[in-house]
Amino acid sequence: MSRYLGGHRDHHPLGPRAVPQVRRRTNQAAARPPRPRPHPPRTPPVPSPAGSSVGRRGAGGLPTPALLDIGCGPGNSTAVLRRRWPHARITGIDNSPEMLTTARTEGEPAARYLLADARTYDPAPHHPDLIVSNATLQWLNAGPGHDGEPQGHLALLPAWTAALRPGGTLAVQVPGNFDAPSHTLLAGLRRSPRWHRLLGDDATRPGIHTPAQYLDTLTGAHCTADVWETTYSTLLEGPDPVLEWVKGTALRPVLSRLTDPADQAAFLAEYGALLREAYPAGPHGTVFPFRRVFAVAVRR
């Protein structure tokens, strides 16, 4: 079985259609080669406890397991869970009412959804067999009780694993590309005098930790854990494909602050030129490497 559960390709927040990719894997755990697919998923790959050496039992052996999807967004990851566990009691949690509306109507209508802030949400009353958080932890670094703490979202994980039934599984995936040119060039441009005047400081800068820090935290939280990273080298099509991709993620807060269309156009032109230089187009498209970090932990 593949370690990845895949996902919907058509409703993905990350943007443009991608074409086949190559994975480079640097592991801390024995890896099974992923099942070849004609196209990569547009939903970030959801970590599957079924593929982990510690998580093979996952929630799969139970007739109606209780599953939590923290940061469920439009329900793409929730739908992946439903396909894997058709009879599960699934609850999706997100702090965006718009995302939850889409999840209810298009993502996975049979799940239950809660509007909640994952930084303060207590999963214990659900007695979950499996908690999944896909492409969300990077946003959970600051908030009530956690502001300025060096641990960032690592501080949340012990409470999440403590909420699991014994033998239950936590599976998370975070993007690990914050040091990539797509992000550093954007940050540099924001700091330049013209744009800093309009945009101010970057108050919602997401961030993640090293694989070793996730492993250490989860092991210290009475779990057996697998942590690994994969860099997806994705081939993008079109004249400004990296710019189009980033429009669905890191550029969102920037564009929402630039209310004048002329400013938006000028910012996109400047940033687009920097991206074309950093990610030159080749004969088959533009290679866009994207690193992701995965962790699967089973409560002892």
Ligand X SMILES: C[S@@+](CC[C@H](N)C(=O)[O-])C[C@H]1O[C@@H](n2cnc3c(N)ncnc32)[C@H](O)[C@@H]1O
> Which is closer to ligand X, CB of 90 or CB of 274?
90
> Which is closer to ligand X, CB of 7 or CB of 211?
7
DSSP, collapsed to helix, strand or coil, labels residue 213 as helix
Q: Which residue is nearest to ligand X (CB)?
A: 73
Shortest spacing between CB 265 and ligand X, in angstroms: 26
Encoded tokens for 203: 């108050």
Shortest spacing between CB 232 and ligand X, in angstroms: 15
Neighbour-count burial of 96, counting CB atoms closer than 10 A to its CB (0-12 exposed, 13-18 middle, 19+ buried): middle
Write the CA distances from 225 to 66, 84, 131, integer angstroms: 20, 21, 14
Encoded tokens for 200: 């101010």
Shortest spacing between CB 149 and ligand X, in angstroms: 15
> Which is closer to ligand X, CB of 116 or CB of 198?
116
DSSP H or E run through 226? strand 223-236
Ranges assigned E (strand) in 48-206: 66-70, 89-94, 112-115, 130-134, 169-175
> Do 67 and 44 meet the contact criterion of CB atoms below 8 Å apart?
no
List the one residue out of 278, 280, 181, 285 whose CA is nearest residue 234: 285
Shortest spacing between CB 200 and ligand X, in angstroms: 20
By CB under 6 A, name the binding residues for ligand X.
Answer: 13, 43-44, 71-73, 76-77, 94-96, 99, 117-119, 134-136, 139-140
> Which is closer to ligand X, CB of 58 or CB of 73?
73
Cα distance between residue 1 and residue 58, in whole Å:
13
Cα distance between residue 195 and residue 132, in whole Å:
37
Encoded tokens for 205: 């800068």
Shortest spacing between CB 238 and ligand X, in angstroms: 22
DSSP, collapsed to helix, strand or coil, labels residue 4 as strand
Shortest spacing between CB 134 and ligand X, in angstroms: 4
> Which is closer to ligand X, CB of 101 or CB of 219?
101
> Do 274 and 203 meet the contact criterion of CB atoms below 8 Å apart?
no
DSSP, collapsed to helix, strand or coil, labels residue 277 as helix
Task: Please state, as a whole number, how many other Cβ atoms lie within 10 Å of the Cβ of residue 239.
Answer: 10
Shortest spacing between CB 80 and ligand X, in angstroms: 8
Encoded tokens for 47: 């970590």
> Which is closer to ligand X, CB of 67 or CB of 118?
118
> Which is closer to ligand X, CB of 93 or CB of 268?
93
Shortest spacing between CB 240 and ligand X, in angstroms: 22
> Which is closer to ligand X, CB of 31 or CB of 114?
114
